[in-house]
Structure 1
Amino acid sequence: MQPIQTKYGDLIPQHTTDDLRKKEVLPVRYHENGTPKTVPLEMQTSIPTPVGNIPAELVTFHENGTLKRVFPLNGKLSGYWGESDEAALAEPTPVQTPAGMITAKVIAISFHENEAIRSLTLWPGEVVSLVTPVGPMKARIGISFDRNGMLRSLEPASPTSVTTPIGDIMAFNSDALGVNGDMNSLVFDARGAVARVTTTLSQLSVVRPNGESDLFKPLYRESYCSETEQEPVPMIVAIGKDTITIQTHCDLPTIRIPTADHVFLSESPLPRQNTIPLMGCGL
């Protein structure tokens, strides 16, 4: 099998299969300019990345030839090979990030075109600790960085109070899905201030210039796990320079409120909410 030449070394593409994890030979794909785009590997290979040597079964590249994503595992899920089987093969991987060394089982590591790390996607159940602009925090699912190395976003592992320009808000998204770690529910701007936060434990009062006030808080829906129970719908609050944007449900329109002449008061935790069920009935 002819190796694929890359700036990270010669890679041997997948050319055999097995009965469980790899049921078909995946093709090598190329960009229009001829550089490799997607390379499934014959065997797990150590890739020298900007954040350390990372074991990989699948790698993707930007059009300029730099790494885009590295996947330590690339098994094909089926009725005979499930997520738990694949996860059992995952090993903790040390990754040198701008937020410090993080060692965890990762589904993927992605990079910007300038080779700066873009994100980590963690296996379900993995929790890591890191320093953020609002203090030390534990994260699950994903962590992302901008191309200058600033922490861009993370998924809080548990309800965590974060300081924002409109008060302290309990950050947590019970509906967060581990598709990838590029975008998460707690987002920071280039200055390190909170730009967006998802919450199921805080409510926001807005006092208008005429003295009247509006109350925004997470709504409730029938639980995915039981028809007799209700669970909170995460509320998203985006904090801009001149506008606060609030969305209490994905099916409802967002509400934009100018910061000028308005007073914002946050309250948390909500007295009704004692526990936060995770999507998937706590699994």
Structure 2
Amino acid sequence: MNTLSRIYSTEAGELLSQHSTDDLRRKTLQPVSMYSNGKVKSLPLEDRTPVFTPAGIIEAEMVTFYKSGKLKRVFPLNGKLSGYWTQEDEGKLADPLTLETPVGPLCVKVISLCFYETETLRSITFWPGEEPILQTPAGPVRTRIGISFSPEGRIRSLEPAEPTPLQTSIGKITAYDSDAVGINGDSNSLVFDDEGRVAAVSSTLNMITARHYSGAEFVFVPELRDSLCSESEREIVPMRMIFDEQGIEISLRPDSEPSYVDFAEYEISVTPFLPQLDNLSRGLICSV
């Protein structure tokens, strides 16, 4: 490292760290973070700089690295949002990137790209409002927030941008997580296994009936909770389902104890759960 010029030699290139601020976007001077072995961990850049990545050269304002020195994450923009600089202001500076991905070529605005230490693409986090239609093992899915991939290049997870009917091992389920938070695209509600089958999904528009061989019947439906928008309104809670070869784990709330339904002991059916559709719409408005 050249201390005077603040230039760091990395596997992504010779990079000049941030050493100035401005009154709108970059009000604070972000420090360079280092690992104990002397390798750079996170590096805010002075200007938008061409960075060498496994996906090609990308102009970035922030990069992070693994302890080995391999590139981990690339942020094309690194502005600080405030009352004077909004997400919309920052978004005007975001340029679409043309990327070759395991789901084909994409041209989207991104918040960040993440890579495995093996230099394969791990995830893409989309800019708010970007909703590309992606080809998945379950068919085309309009996607928001992001998508993640396995080290071998298979789709691992993504976030449906709209209620999307998908075939699962228990029948057709309408995938959609109204509680999805767009922090990054590393982990999403719709998950696929290595064979391309749906391994996990969230839904607000289905109910599951499990009939035991003894005659007992159990019905799982999405629950309602008090709305954050109004004390007089209720909003729907996405029901989470995780599949394996033997059965399905169902969680009605993120903090509730899941129920496990064994395929060998129960006959399972899936039906639409439409009475709360109006609550779903109100919940979406509240969460925006």
Question: Which interval holds the TM-score relative to the shorter structure?
Answer: over 0.9
Worse-matched range after superposition: 87-96 or 37-46: 87-96
Residue 36 of structure 1 corresponds to 40
Equivalent residue, structure 1, for 2:222: 218
Deviation at 1:31, TM superposition (A): 1.5
Q: What's the CA shift for 1:59?
A: 0.2
C-alpha deviations, 1:21-51, integer Å up to 9, x for none?
1112212111122211111101001222122
Q: Which segment is superposed worse, 113-122 or 259-268?
A: 259-268
Gapped runs of 5+ residues in structure 1? Answer: none
SS of 1:281's partner is helix
AA paired with 1:126? E
- Confirm or deny: 8 A CA contact 1:174 1:276 kept in the other structure: no
Q: Which stretch shows the higher mean deviation, 93-102 or 47-56?
A: 47-56
Residue identity in the other structure for 2:50: S
For residue 109 of structure 2, what is the aligned residue in structure 1?
Answer: 105
- Separation (CA, whole Å) in 1 of partners of 2:128 and 2:232: 27
CA RMSD of aligned residues (A): 1.6
Q: How does 1:110-259 map to 2 (within 5 A)?
A: 110-259=114-263
Equivalents in 2 of 1:161, 1:201: separation in Å?
10
Give a deviation string over 1:217-271, Cα, whole Å, max 9, x none. Answer: 1111222223333221100000012231101112321112222221111112524
Cα separation, 2, equivalents of 1:68 and 1:30: 14
> Is 1:203–1:270's contact at 8 Å kept on the other side of the alignment?
no
CA distance in 2, matches of 1:163, 1:276: 24
Larger mean CA deviation between 263-272 and 157-166 belongs to 263-272
- Which of 44-53 and 142-151 deviates more? 44-53
Q: Do the aligned residues in 2 keep the contact of 1:196 with 1:237 (CA within 8 Å)? A: yes
Of 277, 280, 286, the match for 1:281: 286
Indicate which of 5, 13, 25 corresponds to 1:9: 13
8 Å Cα contact 2:146-2:159 kept in structure 1: yes
Counterpart of 1:43 in 2: which secondary structure? strand
Q: 2:75 is matched by which residue type in structure 1?
A: F
Q: Deviations over 1:42-86 (max 9, x none)?
A: 100122212222221000001121111100110112232222222
Deviates more, 1:180-189 or 1:273-282: 273-282
**Structure 2 spans left out of the alignment, 5+ residues:** none
Secondary structure in structure 2 of the residue aligned to 1:276: helix
The aligned counterpart of 2:73 is: 69
Does the 8 A contact of 1:134 with 1:163 survive in 2? yes
Structure 1 letter corresponding to 2:51: I
Deviation at 1:191, TM superposition (A): 1.1
Separation in 2 of the partners of 1:22 and 1:269?
Answer: 47
Assess if the C-alpha contact under 8 Å between 1:198 and 1:235 holds in 2. yes
Does the residue aligned with 2:88 lie in a helix, a strand or coil?
Answer: helix
**Shift in Å, 1:277:** 4.2
Is 2:146–2:188's contact at 8 Å kept on the other side of the alignment? yes
1:273 deviates by: 1.5
Per the alignment, residue 18 of structure 1 pairs with 22
Secondary structure of the structure 2 residue equivalent to 1:42: strand
Aligned residues of 1:176 and 1:279 also touching (Cα < 8 A): no
Amino acid at match of 1:111: F
